[in-house]
């Protein structure tokens, strides 16, 4: 599956914002215990498979300048850590006068 990097991970190695690659595999935390998830086992069937927390994605990036293999990985197969980001926006700034009219209780055209 094609992917696009959205951050500058290692610019000097060709891993920067806009770099294209191919998603190959998602690696999970094998040490994570499903009992830590506080799931009521009587609710789910005994053959339920619990999805663990992903640690990183293996992405093939042919334009990467990385010349050595990492921990027995094929060359150009790069572990990319998963990052969670949050951002806030001002609704007032986004909608401007429309937002002000709504605050005043006026009908919006």
pLDDT digit string, tens, across residues 67-81: 655 566 667 888 888
pLDDT digit string, tens, across residues 84-101: 778 888 877 777 777 777
Class of residue 17 by CB neighbours under 10 A (exposed 0-12, middle 13-18, buried 19+): exposed
Domain that holds residue 52: 2-104
- Give the total number of structural domains in the chain: 1
pLDDT digit string, tens, across residues 18-50: 999 999 999 887 776 656 656 666 777 777 777
**In this structure, are residues 39 and 46 in contact, taking their beta carbons and an 8 Å threshold?**
no
Domain assignment present for residue 109? The answer is: no
Kindly state the tokens that stand for 108: 């919006």
Confidence band of 51 (pLDDT split at 50, 70, 90): confident
Q: Output the pTM of the full model.
A: 0.58
Domain assignment present for residue 19? The answer is: yes
Domain assignment present for residue 13? The answer is: yes
Domain assignment present for residue 77? The answer is: yes
């Amino acid at each position: 599956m094609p992917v696009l990097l959205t951050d500058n991970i290692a610019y000097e190695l060709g891993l920067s914002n806009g770099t294209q690659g191919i998603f190959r595999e998602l690696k999970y935390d094998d040490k994570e215990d499903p009992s830590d998830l506080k799931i009521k086992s009587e609710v789910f069937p005994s053959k339920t498979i619990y999805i663990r927390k992903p640690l990183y994605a293996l992405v093939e990036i042919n334009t990467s300048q990385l010349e050595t293999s990492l921990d027995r990985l094929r060359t150009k197969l790069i572990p990319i850590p998963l990052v969670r980001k949050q951002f806030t926006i001002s609704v007032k700034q986004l909608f401007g006068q429309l937002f002000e009219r709504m605050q005043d209780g006026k009908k919006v055209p």
